[in-house]
Amino acid sequence: MLYMNQDFYIGLIRQGLQGALPEEGSLQLAKWRLADPEHPVLEQQVRKNWELNRQHQSESELDPDTAFNALRTRGRAHEKENTATVRKISPARSNRRSWLGIAAVLLILLSAGWFLMPSLQGDGPRAKIETKPGDPPREVTLSDGTKIWLRENSQLEYPETFAGKSRAVKLTGEAFFEVAKSPDIPFRIDLPGAEVEVLGTTFLVSARPDTTIEVTVQTGKVALKVSNKTLILPKGKAGSGNPTTQEVAELNYQPNAAAWRNNTLTFDDQPLAAVVQDLEAYFNVSIIFTNRQLLNCRFRGRFPNADLTEILDAMQPTLAITWKELDDEYQLYDGNCQ
């Protein structure tokens, strides 16, 4: 009963600090203050500790409820120690010492934020890597075995060691993820205005500031979340999320969206219209067909260390085309589907 009362009054003090204390609770707290001269002193200490906790929370996103539960647990353990050594003291005196013991625990633990916060957050120190415009893709392996390829002009923040029941990283820019499977511990990517959650899969995320977020899934299943809307994307699907309008939508799947990761383009019996779209995006050029009917033809091939002229040369025997380069534009002539 003694432990429950302690929890009860700590809860009332906390409700008051949050501005959510009902009138009945105010009366109970007022009676409690008058019951013992030590109670107002303890309340003042708790208020100071609350302010300290709020400062730590703003720096590390510490959850106040989690912090108070942890402190309360430690307070109970401390109290049990004290009552075990002072059994001959009167109940009123024992109660006062117990409260003072809890206050001491609150002061020590909240003041030593470096000790409390890591245990509540779960993860260890964080690391950050950045790539500049023109940089080659940078590969990172996380502590759980997840591999990430960070594209140029992007930034990734992640814990050096995952702990607890979550795996979370923060991405700005574009990256390809090969997430290690762990069914009991989801993997989350915090994006500007959205998040992605998976269990184990390979997928591409593009999340530049002030732009629509795009996700392309190669294997597994991914949930793209924007505000209160969620878009589930299985293997071979793509989708987008707009943090401004808070809308999500499916996109046309582009198999070569992550070709920058290993500099390899693969076309698996795709319509030439899709092939041209990938080539234009990858090489940043325009490709013009004089015979538009060729766009319905299909093309197959895999090209490591992709080179545009090599790919166009590979089209010639199967599509009977000729081509020439004019500045940043490539024109394709003649041709037919064989």
- The string of pLDDT tens digits covering residues 152-209 is 999 999 999 988 788 999 999 999 999 998 888 899 999 998 999 997 799 999 998 8
Mean pLDDT computed over 255-259: 89
Please state the φ and ψ torsions of residue 82, each to the nearest 5 degrees.
-65, -45
What does pTM read for this prediction? Answer: 0.58
Please state the φ and ψ torsions of residue 179, each to the nearest 5 degrees.
-80, 130
- Which residues, including other chains, have CB under 8 Å from residue 98's CB and lie 6 or more apart? 2, 6, 79, 82, 83
The span from the CA of 239 to the CA of 197, in Å, is 14
Instruction: Identify whether residues 81 and 131 lie together within a single domain.
Output: no
Q: In the predicted model, what is the mean pLDDT of the chain?
A: 78
Boundary residue ending a domain (78, 97, 121): 121
Instruction: Identify whether residues 146 and 214 lie together within a single domain.
Output: yes
Mean pLDDT computed over 257-280: 88
Instruction: Identify whether residues 113 and 133 lie together within a single domain.
Output: no
Instruction: Identify whether residues 144 and 100 lie together within a single domain.
Output: no
The span from the CA of 103 to the CA of 77, in Å, is 13
Write out pLDDT tens, residues 283-312.
888 998 888 878 888 888 899 888 898 998
Q: Supply the range of the domain harboring residue 138.
A: 126-251
Assess whether pLDDT exceeds 70 at residue 110: no
Query: In total, how many domains does the chain have?
Result: 3
What CATH number is given to the structural domain containing 292?
A: 3.55.50.30
Instruction: Identify whether residues 140 and 76 lie together within a single domain.
Output: no
Within a domain: residue 258?
Answer: no
What confidence score (pLDDT) does residue 4 get?
39
The CA-atom distances, in angstroms, between 228 and each of 82, 234, 247, 254 are 48, 20, 10, 27
142 token code pair: 């996380």
